[in-house]
Chain A
Amino acid sequence: MKNENAEEKSSGKKITLVFIVNGEPFSASVNINSPLKSAVEKVLSESENTGRPFSDWQVKYNGQVLDLNSKVEDLHLPDKADLLLSLKTGEGGIDG
């Protein structure tokens, strides 16, 4: 059974990723051989978050920022992983 799962993964099957966008979960079925950004674009469209440039968004998993150009398989994400999809923070801080 384990071997079957390994084969299934390496042949480019899909996993489900759950993107949390402003606190709201959006599930996406993702081909593990595709770049993460494909799924992000789909989720942003589905969640009607198209008003900001794509480059303003970032994805974090367990606090780490993920490279959107990486293949999903290379990120070693488990099935049904919760990913935080959020806007990068605008300028602020010292002297406002």
Chain B
Amino acid sequence: MVDNEVKSTVQTVDIEVSRKKFEDELSIFLHRQDAHRENGIILLKATFPDIELLFIAKQLIPAPVVFSVRINYTNYDLEPLSVSFIDPLTGDLLKANRVLTHFNKKNGVDLNGNLIKQPLLQFETPDGIPYLCIPGVREYHNHPFHTGDSWMLHRKLGGEGSLGYLIDKLYDYGISAISTFNLPIISIPMVQLGLDLNKLPE
């Protein structure tokens, strides 16, 4: 069991270093804030060490809020940014079974020629706290499966793990392939979102 909630919550890096990087990356975001908003990416809150963002699938009518994240800059960038999925109304961490998208990537084809999707949202149980399993995310590098893929192999290389990089990936895998609502025939207060597999990023 990996408790990604409690790791790296103590600021050990000079706080002014992390704060400066927070402000620099936030400034880049704010410079294109209108363009982000047109894509359905809305800034909810930006108070060091957290930035909270809302992601909307603008291609559907009505456009649904698909997910919201809290990006945490504690110890950045000696440590990577943390990405957690939150309820945009309360700020509470979401369990895996409350996240509408599993951040699928295209992963080849099966023997019948059908596209295979691979979820980048990982969790141990449906009512556990999920994390985004890509290099550049703190929860990925903290996971015992990834001890051979240190953050230091990625830090400062091509902006991997920066706010802009994470927003690109969250949008690509979480939003871009959503094409329909899938309405369940039973009466539950939660819709599902359909994917166009051909639009999944690789």
Which A residues are within 8 Å of any B CB, using their own CB? 20-25, 49, 51-52, 56-57, 63, 82, 84, 86-96
Contact = CB atoms under 8 A, between A and B. Distances in A.
Main secondary structure of the interface of B (DSSP, over half): mixed
Interface of B: 25, 28-29, 31-32, 35, 105, 107, 118-120, 122, 132-136, 140, 143, 145-146, 149, 154, 156-160, 162-165, 167-169, 172-173, 176, 199, 201-202
A93 B169 contact: no
Given A23-B167, A24-B164, A63-B199, A92 B133 contact: yes
A93 to B, nearest CB: 4
A19 to B, nearest CB: 12
Given A94-B118, A94-B119, A96-B145, A89 B105 contact: yes
Given A22-B168, A23-B168, A24-B164, A57 B158 contact: yes
B60 to A, nearest CB: 15
Contacts of A22: 28, 158-159, 162-165, 168
B168 A90 contact: no
Contacts of B120: 89, 92-93
28 contacts: A21-B159, A21-B164, A22-B165, A22-B168, A23-B28, A23-B32, A23-B165, A23-B167, A51-B156, A57-B158, A63-B199, A82-B35, A86-B165, A86-B172, A88-B202, A89-B169, A89-B173, A89-B201, A90-B160, A92-B134, A92-B135, A92-B140, A93-B107, A93-B122, A94-B118, A94-B119, A94-B122, A96-B140
